[in-house]
Amino acid sequence: MTATRVLVLNSGSSSVKYQLLDMRGGERLALGLVERIGEETSRLKHTCVKTGAVRESIAPVADHEAALKAVAEELTKDGLGLDSPELAAIGHRVVHGGMTFTAPTVIDDTVLAEIERLIPVAPLHNPANLVGIRTAMALRPDLPQVAVFDTAFHTTMPESAARYAIDVATADAYRIRRYGFHGTSHAYVSRATAKLLGKAPEDVNVIVLHLGNGASASAVERGRCVETSMGLTPLEGLVMGTRSGDLDPAVIFHLMRVGEMSTDEIDTLLNKKSGLIGLCGDNDMREIRRRIDEGDEQAELAFDIYIHRLKKYIGAYYAVLGRVDAVAFTAGVGENDNAVREAAVAGLELLGLEVDGALNAVRSDEPRLISPTTSRVAVAVVPTDEELEIATQTYALVGNYNA
Ligand SMILES: Nc1ncnc2c1ncn2[C@@H]1O[C@H](COP(=O)(O)OP(=O)(O)O)[C@@H](O)[C@H]1O
Ligand SMILES: CC(=O)OP(=O)(O)O
Ligand SMILES: [Mg+2]
């Protein structure tokens, strides 16, 4: 039997997203999500695309290993179990690949050890990614397991963008540089944006704004990333759901010396208690918008800070690229929130950026322009599909393993 299916696992700190695809036509067979792992009210939602069956349950899922086993059971119920001979490989999102991994990689013990070594620079993500890999390996030890790294797309950044202005010997000793993340999404969305414009990726310059719970911007010049907003870790850059983004590093010394806070306390403060949740108590943009509509000033200020930072990055990346063909909004907030898109671009008419109110209000899952024809720079909403991109890269690497 020809093995043409790829299972993709995207393990986050408290969730697992998954998709099963048939790579003959890139068709999605099943997808789902387990969220709030480790809590009493963990939620599993599974959709079998083939039959249209949707199953949802709320029950405690203790850890990532239990979550993956629950996913395997759901797939088995639909006749799509992990024991299928049609499964060619399992593709894993791995957030930090450091300087070692610039391309998708078949996972062996050496690769596992390197992903583990990088935990200190991706503490929220790499541990979850590792559990996902190890559990999948135990379920199907015979299958190739492929790691697709968030950092890989950004390895084309020039040294002028990738290096921090700190002592070179210290930076090199500790491999301190800007790696960037969400690369699978930036790669997919920049290519999809070129397609929307009817052009080849090599012929366009795009600013991609990936605005999810984690958020990052990138400047993509002729298909290659030349700058991105996240750095050594996914903490730098834009204001995020729970992360501060850019900050004067002296804030940390101040908190240590004057606030007498420990390194771990500051780490938790900046990664989990800052950003939108730190500013107004909510990290979900839907809730923040609802509060603003009710006249909540704290929510409004959080929104303004979020937009101010975003606008600064659009301007900065315009300068980095020199010529911009398109600005593309993606991920949970970017794809769904028209007020964020409108506010981020407001006042940038002299840079050639305009948004059409009616087009911006359209809700759709398709890539679409939201700028009027008069706009010199196209403004677009381009839904990301990290899972499809991971499956494509995985399948390209392992080919038809079982054929
Ligand atoms: N309809 C919507 N309007 C505004 N924001 C939304 C909407 N749907 C989702 N979001 C935002 O998207 C975020 C999740 O985005 P997503 O890309 O799925 O993030 P992640 O992959 O980091 O979990 C939510 O926290 C919420 O702020
Ligand atoms: C790297 C990163 O921030 O990922 P996520 O948005 O999934 O948290
Ligand atoms: Mg995401």
> Given the CA of residue 13, which atom of ligand 2 is nearest to it?
8
Work out the average pLDDT over 17-36. Answer: 94
- Write down the pLDDT at residue 50: 84
> What tokens were used for 158?
């020039």
- Identify which ligand lies nearest to the alpha carbon of 331: 1
Kindly indicate the confidence band of residue 402, based on its pLDDT and cuts at 50, 70 and 90: very low
What separation in angstroms does the CA of 150 have from each of 29, 176, 225, 317, 381?
Answer: 24, 17, 13, 20, 21
- Write down the pLDDT at residue 403: 47
DSSP code, position 238: S
Residues in the chain, how many?
A: 403
Work out the average pLDDT over 151-165. Answer: 98
Work out the average pLDDT over 120-146. Answer: 93
Residue with tokens 């679409």: 368
116: CA distance to ligand 3 center in Å? 21
- Write down the pLDDT at residue 11: 87
> Given the CA of residue 210, which atom of ligand 2 is nearest to it?
6
Average pLDDT, the chain: 95
Is the pLDDT at 336 greater than 90? The verdict is yes
The SS3 of residue 42 is coil
Q: Please name the residues in contact with 339: beta carbons below 8 A apart, sequence gap of 6 or more.
A: 289
Work out the average pLDDT over 134-151. Answer: 95
- Selection from 269, 304, 270 nearest residue 289 by Cα: 304
What separation in angstroms does the CA of 206 have from each of 142, 260, 318?
Answer: 41, 44, 9
Distance CA 185, CA 36 (A): 23
Work out the average pLDDT over 160-179. Answer: 97
Is the pLDDT at 15 greater than 90? The verdict is no
* pLDDT tens-digit series, residues 177-232: 999 999 999 999 999 999 999 999 999 999 999 999 899 999 999 999 999 999 99
- Write down the pLDDT at residue 354: 97
> What tokens were used for 72?
């395997």
What separation in angstroms does the CA of 401 have from each of 4, 87, 143, 145, 347?
Answer: 9, 9, 8, 11, 53
Q: Please name the residues in contact with 297: beta carbons below 8 A apart, sequence gap of 6 or more.
A: none
Reading across the β-sheet that carries 16-22, which strands appear in turn?
54-58, 43-48, 27-35, 16-22, 5-11, 87-94, 145-149, 105-106
Distance CA 36, CA 56 (A): 14
The SS3 of residue 389 is helix
Quote the ipTM score.
0.98
- Identify which ligand lies nearest to the alpha carbon of 124: 2
Percent of the chain with pLDDT over 70: 99
DSSP code, position 376: S
Distance CA 213, CA 17 (A): 14
Is the pLDDT at 157 greater than 90? The verdict is yes
Work out the average pLDDT over 4-25. Answer: 92
The catalytically annotated residue of 150, 282, 337, 385 is: 150
* pLDDT tens-digit series, residues 40-54: 889 999 999 989 999
Ligand 2 cavity residues, CB under 6 Å: 12, 95, 125, 150, 181-182, 212-214, 234
Kindly indicate the confidence band of residue 253, based on its pLDDT and cuts at 50, 70 and 90: very high
Kindly indicate the confidence band of residue 1, based on its pLDDT and cuts at 50, 70 and 90: low
Cβ of residue 212 lying under 6 Å from some atom of ligand 1: yes
The pTM of this model reads 0.95
The SS3 of residue 295 is coil
340: CA distance to ligand 1 center in Å? 12
For the question of residue 150 being annotated catalytic, the response is yes
Distance in Å from the first CA to the final CA of the chain? 7
- Write down the pLDDT at residue 39: 85
Kindly indicate the confidence band of residue 96, based on its pLDDT and cuts at 50, 70 and 90: very high
- Selection from 318, 314, 351 nearest residue 329 by Cα: 314
> What tokens were used for 231?
């750095």
Cβ of residue 35 lying under 6 Å from some atom of ligand 1: no
Helix axis angle, 386-398 to 183-196, nearest 10°? 100
* 3-state helix, strand and coil shares in percent for the chain, rounded to the nearest 5: 40, 20, 40
- Write down the pLDDT at residue 36: 86
